[in-house]
């Protein structure tokens, strides 16, 4: 695939990403300084229960959370958004999609205790391990290895994620549920184990706005949504603002996106939009976001191709209409001099063989990996480079 390019309040609040500014520093200096602050270990007092020390993750924070002024701690939008976004967008913002917890430990066994917001633990086409589960990765020899997860059968979960690990201190990432919300979450390790909480990285994140596919439908586990795959591959924090069935380029969401000091914005809404609504909304949406963030790259992504498109005229017609409308909006914006736009065709997002979905539409883990394969090189070229020396390099 070719990229077409143009020219509730936390007890220990996280830094609101939307308040980070570049000032007069160069990108490299800013990222180095902010990373040092974010990655500095924070002492956290555990609650000891028998032989297990339990650490409340709200004491040091999660990645993938763009605002600290949330109604519930693990919400994705600020509390005030309840009055500005459509009700279904607000409802889906209570899901913890894209959030993850970072820590280091030499424990050979890791447990979790958590409570879910909803009793609906699974979907007909998506297992409880993805909808409501947790997914634990460990860094080993420079790559991330999945080592265990929680597969809930009730709203209250007390589970062993992994045990009998080889001795050694490692960095871990724990991914939160994709289609359920979290009310509370603690990580348990043997009381004599070393445990070092790692605060969220402070460098500007990649911010995704989109649909059920963006939110994670239908990954088998939270670490397999394509945004999490990209996070691990690019070693870059990502905020997932996918809202199942409701990625419709709402102006209220454009305003919220503009509050976040992102490294890149990715707009992936076409699966929820017709050609007519794309024609009405795409250009104004991008202009609103560009007014708030004049220089930040914006990537417009076409819809993935339905697996059954070769056999259904209605699917071919839908794709043709929405893609033509998005391309027209993109070309108009470029012609008007709107800077730093990128366009990604959708034909190859799921691969060429119609083998990447659960239902012809929502990706399996294979489909999610293929989307990451397509978007990864595009994003890698847009991210600030470690050797940048001035703001103009951003």
The predicted pLDDT at position 28 comes to 32
Q: What is the pLDDT of residues 71-126, one digit of tens each?
A: 999 999 999 999 999 999 999 999 999 999 999 999 999 999 999 999 999 999 99
CATH superfamily of 41-198: Galactose-binding domain-like (2.60.120.260)
Q: How far is it, in rounded angstroms, from Cα 228 to Cα 96?
A: 13
pLDDT < 70 positions in the chain:
1-42, 386-394
The predicted pLDDT at position 42 comes to 63
Q: Where are the domains of the chain?
A: 41-198, 201-383
CB 101 within 8 A of CB 52: no
Q: What is the pLDDT of residues 293-303, one digit of tens each?
A: 999 999 999 99
Q: CA separation (Å) from 296 to 120, 142, 234, 382? A: 38, 30, 18, 9
Element (H, E) at 5: strand 4-5
Residue 354 CA from chain centroid, whole number: 25
| DSSP secondary structure of 165-176 | PPSS-EEEEEEP
CB 305 within 8 A of CB 384: no
Please state which of the four CATH numbers 3.40.1710.10, 3.40.1390.10, 3.40.50.1110, 3.40.630.10 is assigned to the domain occupying 201-383: 3.40.50.1110
Q: How far is it, in rounded angstroms, from Cα 18 to Cα 261?
A: 5
Tokens standing for residue 251? 């102006």
CB 176 within 8 A of CB 157: no
The predicted pLDDT at position 294 comes to 98
Three-state helix/strand/coil letters over 21-51? CCCCCCHHHHHHHHHHHHHCCCCCCCEEECC
pTM: 0.88
- Among 140, 93, 135, smallest CA distance to 225 is for 135
Q: Write phi, then psi, for 57 (nearest 5 degrees).
A: -65, -20
Q: What is the pLDDT of residues 24-56, one digit of tens each?
A: 223 333 333 333 344 555 678 999 999 999 999
Give SS3 for 311: helix
The predicted pLDDT at position 391 comes to 37
Tokens standing for residue 168? 């050694």
Tokens standing for residue 191? 């009381």
- The verdict on whether omega for the bond into residue 68 sits within 30 degrees of 0, i.e. cis, is no
Three-state helix/strand/coil letters over 236-293? CCEEEEECCCCCCCCHHHHHHHCCCCCCEEEEECHHHCCHHHHHHHHHHHHHHHHHHC
């Amino acid at each position: 695939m070719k990229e077409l390019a143009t020219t509730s309040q936390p007890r220990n609040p996280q830094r609101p990403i939307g308040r980070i500014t570049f000032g007069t520093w160069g990108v490299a200096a800013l990222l180095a300084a902010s990373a040092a602050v974010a990655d500095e270990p924070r002492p956290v007092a555990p609650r000891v229960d028998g032989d297990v020390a339990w650490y409340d993750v709200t004491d040091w924070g999660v990645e993938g959370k763009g605002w600290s002024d949330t109604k519930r701690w693990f919400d994705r939008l600020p509390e005030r958004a309840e009055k500005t976004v459509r009700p279904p967008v607000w409802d889906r913002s209570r899901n913890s999609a894209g959030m993850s917890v970072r820590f280091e430990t030499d424990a050979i066994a890791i447990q979790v205790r958590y409570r879910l917001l909803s009793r609906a633990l699974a979907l007909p086409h998506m297992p409880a391990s993805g909808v409501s589960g947790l997914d634990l990765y460990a860094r080993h020899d420079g790559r991330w290895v999945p080592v265990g997860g929680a597969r809930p059968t009730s709203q209250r979960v007390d589970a062993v994620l992994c045990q009998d690990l080889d001795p050694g201190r490692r960095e871990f990432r724990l991914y939160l549920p994709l289609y359920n919300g979290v009310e509370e979450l603690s990580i348990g390790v043997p009381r004599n184990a070393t445990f070092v909480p790692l605060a969220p990285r402070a460098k500007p994140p990649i911010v995704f706005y989109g649909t059920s596919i963006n939110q994670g439908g239908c990954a088998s586990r939270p670490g397999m949504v394509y945004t999490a795959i990209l996070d691990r591959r690019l070693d870059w924090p990502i905020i997932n603002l996918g809202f199942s069935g409701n990625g419709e380029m709402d102006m209220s969401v454009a305003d919220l996106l503009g509050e976040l000091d992102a490294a890149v914005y990715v707009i992936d809404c076409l699966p929820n939009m017709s050609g007519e609504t794309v024609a009405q909304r795409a250009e104004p949406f991008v202009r609103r976001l560009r007014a708030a963030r004049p220089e930040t790259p914006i990537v417009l992504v076409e819809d993935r191709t339905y697996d059954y498109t070769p056999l259904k005229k209605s699917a071919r017609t839908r794709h043709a209409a929405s893609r033509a409308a998005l391309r027209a909006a993109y070309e108009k914006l470029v012609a008007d001099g709107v800077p730093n736009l990128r366009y990604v065709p959708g034909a190859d997002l799921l691969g060429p063989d119609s083998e990447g979905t659960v239902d012809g539409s929502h990706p399996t883990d294979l489909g999610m990996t293929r989307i990451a394969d397509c978007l990864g090189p595009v994003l890698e070229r847009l991210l600030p480079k470690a050797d940048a020396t001035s703001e103009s390099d951003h």
